[in-house]
Amino acid sequence: MKKENNVRSQNVTDYPNDNTYFLVWDLRKEVDIVKIKTVFSQVCALVINLNNSALDRFPDAKASCVMGIGYEAWLTLGLPKPLPKELKNFVAVKGEKHTAVSTPGDLHFHIRADKKSLAYDMSSVISGLMKGIAVCTVEVHGFRYWDSRSILGFVDGTENPHGADRAFFAVIDEQDPAYKGGSYLFVQKYIHDLDAWKSLPVHEQEKIIGRSRDNDIEMADDVKPKNSHIALANIGDDLKVVRDNMPFGNVSSNEMGTYFICYASTFATVEKMLTNMFIGDPPGNYDRILDFSTPQTGSLFFVPGLDMLDEFSG
């Protein structure tokens, strides 16, 4: 599953860091389009500058900022046509019991750093530019929970590709030559019912996930329930995405969740995964984790390659 990629992509293949800021911004309709385009160009230049500066000043901090652009923003900003082949407004996936909701989103920023102060500074300077032309509709501060576990207590991302396969599954190549080096970015903000989850015995939790909690070993196929998360969310070795999920939350209100985020060379893979989870395979056999995890957002973005981002910066 390896390929050579001679174009520069944004940092979509890195591994999750200790601290992450997720920001979704919607462009203000009342702001003059000339100003919006001017600030957008400045933001593109800023993203490039922040990444270069972080690499030079803090080479061991694993810091980066990745920017994605939504379908409506692509049109508003007058970006190249034809559009990336699979860039569109995400359509909600409605099952009999659960729904993967669709929510607006014009620009998405995924800001990572092992040092929280660096992630904060990068987020702050981006927000300083953006607030004149857009409204921030989602701000999530993610953190690493123990050995990359979700707040549900299970290791998250075990099925992620590694090595050169990360670029194969996350970065566009010849399937859309005009957008080589780009990626599709899909995000969902989930809130978990931790009280209900924690009331379950560990062996029942393990059946819902499809893995052992303590040592992260997948159940054998003849033991793993057909409606477990692993059985439905993993759709084959040839159809993978690069996940960078992070826990977040407010302990006093018990509003704890997972920010699901994935990069993919084709959005069709993500759609297949969501269909399995929410509608079921076969229909009705939905992902049992959804009885304890409710998506509040769902948005699709396109992450341009670095050369295209440089062009957008003017």
Tell me if 184 sits within 8 A of 174, measured CB to CB.
no
Q: Tens of pLDDT along 24-59?
A: 999 999 999 999 999 999 999 999 999 999 999 999
Q: Does pLDDT of 197 surpass 50?
A: yes
Mean pLDDT, rounded, for 307-311: 97
Q: Tens of pLDDT along 198-229?
A: 999 999 999 999 999 999 999 999 999 999 99
* 72: containing domain: 19-312
Structural domain includes residue 12? no
Q: Does pLDDT of 194 surpass 70?
A: yes
Tell me if 191 sits within 8 A of 287, measured CB to CB.
no
Residue 304's contacts (CB-CB under 8 Å, 6 or more residues apart) are 10, 69, 179, 181, 182, 312
Tell me if 138 sits within 8 A of 23, measured CB to CB.
yes
- How confident is residue 6, by pLDDT bands cut at 50, 70 and 90? low
> CA-to-CA distance for 254 and 235, rounded, in angstroms?
32
Q: Does pLDDT of 2 surpass 80?
A: no
Q: Tens of pLDDT along 124-168?
A: 999 999 999 999 999 999 999 999 999 999 999 999 999 999 999
Structural domain includes residue 11? no
pLDDT of residue 58: 94
Phi, psi values for residue 65, rounded to 5°: -130, 125
Report the chain's mean pLDDT, rounded to a whole number. 96
Residue positions annotated with a catalytic role: 156
Structural domain includes residue 271? yes
Three-state secondary structure readout of the chain: CCCCCCCCCCCCCCCCCCEEEEEEEEECCCCCHHHHHHHHHHHHHHHHHHHHHHHHHCCCCCCEEEEEECHHHHHHCCCCCCCCCCCCCCCCEECCCCEECCCCCCEEEEEEECCHHHHHHHHHHHHHHHCCCEEEEEEEEEECCCCCECCCCCECCCCCCCCCHHHHHHCCCCCCHHHCCCEEEEEEEEEECHHHHHCCCHHHHHHHHCECCCCCCECCCCCCCCCCHHHHHCCCCCCCCEECCEEEEECCCCEEEEEEEEEECCHHHHHHHHHHHHHCCCCCCCCHHHHCEEECCCEEEEECCHHHHHHHCC
Instruction: Count Cα neighbours of 51 within 13 Å in the Cβ-side half-sphere.
Output: 20
**Total tally of structural domains belonging to the chain:** 1
Structural domain includes residue 6? no
Q: Tens of pLDDT along 226-248?
A: 999 999 999 988 999 999 999 99
Mean pLDDT, rounded, for 64-73: 98
Structural domain includes residue 2? no
Structural domain includes residue 9? no
pLDDT of residue 3: 45
Q: Tens of pLDDT along 284-300?
A: 999 999 999 999 999 99
- How confident is residue 1, by pLDDT bands cut at 50, 70 and 90? very low
Structural domain includes residue 5? no
Q: Does pLDDT of 21 surpass 70?
A: yes
Indicate the pTM of the whole model.
0.96
Mean pLDDT, rounded, for 89-108: 98
pLDDT of residue 236: 87
Mean pLDDT, rounded, for 295-306: 98
Tell me if 172 sits within 8 A of 279, measured CB to CB.
no
Structural domain includes residue 253? yes
pLDDT of residue 274: 98
